[in-house]
Chain A
Amino acid sequence: MHFAEARPALSMTNKQLISYLQQDLFIPDLKASNKNDAISRMVGHLVEKGRVKDGRIVLEALKTREKLGSTGIGKGVALPHSRSTVTDSLTLLMARSHEGIEFEAIDEKPVHLFFMILAPHQEKTSEYLPLLGKLVEVTKDANVRKRLLKVPDMAGVVEALEKAKAK
Chain B
Amino acid sequence: MNPQLEALIMLQDLDLMIKEMSDQKTASQMSRIGFDVEAIENLTQARSDMAGKIDSEYLAIYERLMQRYQRAIVPIRNGICLACFLKQPTKYSVSDQKVLKCYHCNRFLYFI
Contact = CB atoms under 8 A, between A and B. Distances in A.
Interface stretch (B9-17, B85-93, B97-105): B9-17
A56 B38 CA distance: 25
B36 A68 contact: yes
Interface residues of A, number: 34
Please indicate which of the listed interface residues A1, A10, A73 has the most CB atoms of chain B within 10 Å of its own CB.
A1
A151 interface: no
A53 B39 CA distance: 29
Contacts of B46: 64, 67
B42 A61 contact: no
A60 B10 contact: yes
A61 to B, nearest CB: 5
Contacts of A10: 29
B19 to A, nearest CB: 9
The 8 closest A-B pairs by CB, nearest first: A6-B34, A69-B36, A67-B42, A9-B32, A9-B29, A133-B33, A61-B13, A9-B33
Interface of A: 1-3, 5-10, 53-54, 56-57, 60-61, 64-65, 67-69, 71, 73, 82-86, 88, 121-122, 129, 132-133, 136
